[in-house]
Amino acid sequence: MKKVGKPVFFVVVALIAAFATLSYTGIYTQFGDITTARIKGVQEIRLGVDIQGGVDVTFFPADDYDADSYEMAAAAAVISQRLLLQNITDYELFPDFDRNRIILRFPWQAGEADFNPVRAIEELGATAMLAFAEGMEMGEDGLPAGAIILTGADVQSARASTGQIDQLGTIESFVELTLRESGRVAFAEATGRLIGQPISIWMDDRMISAPTVQAHITDGTAIISGGFTPADATALANQIMGGALPFSLETDNYNTISPTLGMGALQAMLLAGMIAFGFISIFMLLWYRASGFVAIIGLVGQLAIMIAALTGFFPFIPAFTLTLPGIAGIILSVGMGVDANIITAERIREELASGKTLDGAVATGYKRAFAAIFDGNITLIIVAVILMGSFGPPTNPFAQLLSWTIFRGFGPTTAGAIYSFGYTLLIGVIANFVMGIFACRLMQRSLCRLSLMRKPWLFGGERA
């Protein structure tokens, strides 16, 4: 068994302390009246409607346009995508097909005291920009780098369907695309020239699909396929139709949602959490002594990782909307972290009672506790993945993962509160693995090698 050096404890503690401080405070630079976040802190967390308040607005087609249900669903898809691109997951969107209305509730922007709801509403309801372009590259201006083949004005309809599209008799979902006369010649020329190459589809400067041209299409009707589920095909058809809509959305009124109740609930939950953490820390210190001290440091690190995953601290993880259910996910995962440390501490105590040396008890205790901790955390990870895949946007990787299971029948949904709970639960469990199993083991094996700590009772054993 390879020994862990004495300085390791202090190195790990210093790293956790530095990371926790940065994840909370962040680093900001000031140039004139412009503040730039170099490292995002806790103030960057976007709070959901149930905490911070927001806007309640009803959209309808401009100029009294009589939209059908397909067009209204497409308009709702445009709004949904624009919200998701800003990582706003806690919103409620209800298309009313009978009255040609779309009802939306979405949260305030984090940290914007001068948030302008009128401008936000105008941006969400603006006509979507759709383009079919050669290749898949994006230019420096954020627009497609390849030549534009079609725009939204050239698209007549896009419908999701399921059936046989090849000679093998395979049944799959696809999108039926029908072009207007204005786009048929350009599309025929492009498909004849680009067989075997991709034609990318862009909406609002974002590529939503890149099908490969399989044949020369001259009649203005095409099929877009690619192993889609019914939910995938519907989502893509709605997005294309959203960019082909002959109308924009407008509203004649909106209401602001008071955050008072939500903020009160948030403050109560934070206070309760701090009190609970204090009592847990005292209990861990008194009952498990050195093992409890290490556990407290690990729990601080776990909380820091969860905060960082919400703020956008990590470049590969975008900022995320925090809701009250999301806070419940944090509390549950911290509880699992406490449970993991208690299991480990009890195993170490049992090994010391059986007569093992301090080094052997710590090493064996972590080894024996790992199976129980792993089983409990893997169970929670599975639950979190199912929640995020079933109640999140259809483009998220977990929705794609579950698209081939029984959950494909759920269809696309963005129940942000449930998705937020699953997200914080998943991040918390992963943080528990990193801190409770890896970091705490390093700290404790290093700590027990210090001469001042070479007393078994400090790690839960009996006094000599």
pLDDT of res. 312: 83
Give the integer Cα–Cα distance in Å for 301 and 439. 9
The string of pLDDT tens digits covering residues 382-427 is 999 888 877 766 556 776 676 665 555 444 444 556 788 888 999 9
The string of pLDDT tens digits covering residues 133-146 is 999 998 877 788 89
pLDDT of res. 6: 77
pLDDT of res. 303: 93
Pick the range with the lowest mean pLDDT from 198-212, 335-349, 448-462.
448-462
Range 46-59 average pLDDT = 79
Range 209-218 average pLDDT = 92
Give the pLDDT band of residue 114 (cuts 50, 70, 90): low
Token pair in block for residue 142: 């954020």
pLDDT of res. 393: 61
pLDDT of res. 406: 55
pLDDT of res. 103: 85
Better-predicted residue by pLDDT, 298 or 90: 298
Whether this prediction's pTM lies above 0.85 is answered by: no
Range 25-30 average pLDDT = 86
Give the integer Cα–Cα distance in Å for 207 and 213. 16
Kindly tell me if the per-residue pLDDT of 300 is higher than 80.
yes
Residues 6+ apart with CB under 8 A from 26: 37, 38, 39, 40, 41, 42, 43, 44, 311, 313
The string of pLDDT tens digits covering residues 248-290 is 788 877 777 666 556 676 778 778 888 988 999 999 888 888 8
The string of pLDDT tens digits covering residues 68-81 is 888 888 888 888 87
Range 454-464 average pLDDT = 73
pLDDT of res. 229: 85
Better-predicted residue by pLDDT, 131 or 254: 131
Range 456-462 average pLDDT = 75
Share above pLDDT 90 across residues of the chain, in percent, rounded to a whole number: 24
Across all residues in the chain, what is the average pLDDT? 83
Better-predicted residue by pLDDT, 298 or 388: 298
If we measure between CA atoms, which residue out of 312, 416, 334 comes closest to residue 41?
A: 312
Residues 6+ apart with CB under 8 A from 341: 284, 291, 292, 294, 295, 298, 299, 436, 440
Range 357-361 average pLDDT = 86
pLDDT of res. 405: 58
